[in-house]
Chain A
Amino acid sequence: MTLITIESEITGNVWKIEAAAGTATDEEDVILILESMKMEIPVESPEKGIIKEILVNEGDQVQEGQGLAILDTDS
């Protein structure tokens, strides 16, 4: 099992979670949308895999570098 932690590149709020744990994703599929400085910023899957865990909830504040989701790329 190869697990990747998808981290936030910015400080902001979690506006919407688009994919739940267990969802199969392709590269560039949107997992969740952050809101920061009036911008909606999609967080995309870096590669094909299955989302093992979503680490945040809608409305949460997140910091730059904080883990948002864990992706299993061997699945």
Chain B
Amino acid sequence: MKAAVLREANKPLEIEEVQISKPGPREVLVRPVAAGVCHSDLHFLDGSYPYPMPTILGHESAGVVEEVGSDVTYVKKGDHVITCLSAFCGHCNKCLTGHLSLCASPEVSRDATEESRLSIQGETVHQFLNLSSFAELMLIHEHALVKVREDMPMDRAALIGCSTTTGVGAVFHTAGVEPGSKVAVIGCGGVGLAAINGAAIAGAGQIIAVDRVDSKLELAKAVGATHTINASSGNAVGEVVEMTQGGCDYTFEAIGLKSTAEQAFQMLCSGGTATIIGMIPVGTMVELHGVDFLAEKKIQGSNMGSNRFRVDMPRFVDFYLSGKLHLDEMISKHIKLADINLALDALKTGQEARHVIMFN
């Protein structure tokens, strides 16, 4: 099969012929139909999150089951599925206490002594986040996918595989936004827009979108923002505090920077909660004013929207098909796998929403 291979940070991906192993007992071979090109891929492309190479990026996809391993009963050939990097073992302490997205069990990947799932002429290709979706086929653990309705368009379904689940899940699960509350979202990329959409579904009273790009702020309005702030024009913290007459109940940081994480905390009212969704580079420290804790301000992380994706994703599909979840606006362009580097370059500019790779 063909796949976009990353051999060195900050270098273009190369389309290469890659060998894929046969499904093990609990593995599923999926033929992706669509794969989103996500900003998180850039963190690994630029080396701010080191990853062993060669690897195949991509972690947001939907497709059709091609073949299943001998012990797989959940799906069969032909089923439509969304993949998810939050593969869960189902029996560790995190899974058994309802925190499936925090499962750290290595059993959903092959161990170092087994044949790797992906290779090029005998050379191991490191599977990215147990998925590697910039490829014509994916070999994944059965707990890294969920079945979905066949009337769900695959390009929209792919987005649910990461950005939607991360943004909406942060609002629903990690923060637990209450109806009528005041919310600010910093960063209006795919995840930030999903958080705004999620806040609207949750019934937030005031939803303030913060970004430096006017076109993204327009998108934010289209998916549920009640107010927008272009952060390049001044002091976003001051504007949010003024608009909300004292700060937000909930803030969400969806960029991954020290400065905006600190701003998310500064935008809170007493008792408010800041949720950091963005991937802050390894080694970066975040600084807060200690006295703010006396006002019961809280800050927390969110990984993949604290999801239980086999429950959440079919619900998000229903939200889309009933008009509550806005995914059409999130896709700026459909591309071929061969154009992946153009899509990654476009993401770096921050001017566009998502490109989605279509495989047929």
Contact = CB atoms under 8 A, between A and B. Distances in A.
B104 A37 contact: yes
Interface stretch (B48-56, B265-273, B337-345): B48-56
Contact of A39 (B51, B102, B111): B51
Interface string A26-44: 0000100101111111101
B52 A38 contact: no
Interface residues of A, number: 19
Contacts of A59: 106
B191 interface: no
Given A9-B282, A36-B104, A42 B87 contact: no
B51 A38 contact: no
23 contacts: A9-B282, A9-B283, A13-B104, A13-B106, A15-B112, A16-B112, A30-B52, A36-B104, A37-B102, A37-B303, A38-B86, A38-B129, A38-B130, A39-B49, A39-B51, A39-B129, A40-B52, A40-B126, A41-B50, A41-B51, A44-B50, A58-B112, A59-B106
Interface of B: 49-52, 85-87, 102, 104, 106, 109, 111-112, 126, 129-130, 282-283, 303
B356 to A, nearest CB: 22
B352 to A, nearest CB: 26
A36 B279 CA distance: 14
Given A30-B52, A39-B49, 19 more contacts: A10-B282, A13-B104, A15-B106, A15-B112, A33-B52, A35-B104, A35-B106, A36-B104, A37-B102, A37-B303, A38-B86, A38-B129, A39-B129, A40-B52, A40-B126, A41-B51, A42-B50, A42-B51, A44-B50
A43 to B, nearest CB: 9
Contacts of A49: none
Contacts of B283: 9
Interface of A is mostly: strand
A59 B139 CA distance: 23
Contacts of A38: 85-87, 129-130
Contacts of A36: 104
Interface in A25-75: 30, 33, 35-42, 44, 58-59
Contact of A40 (B51, B87, B104): B51
Contact of A42 (B52, B111, B130, B303): B52
Contacts of A37: 102, 104, 303
A16 B283 CA distance: 22
Nearest to A16: B112
Contacts of B86: 38
Nearest to B124: A16
Contacts of A39: 49, 51, 129
Most buried by A among B50, B111, B129, B283: B50
A37 B51 CA distance: 13
Interface in A1-18: 9-10, 12-13, 15-16
A45 to B, nearest CB: 13
A15 B104 CA distance: 12
Contacts of B126: 40
Shortest 3 CB-CB contacts between residues of A and residues of B: A16-B112, A42-B52, A38-B129
Contacts of B52: 30, 33, 40, 42
Contacts of B104: 12-13, 35-37
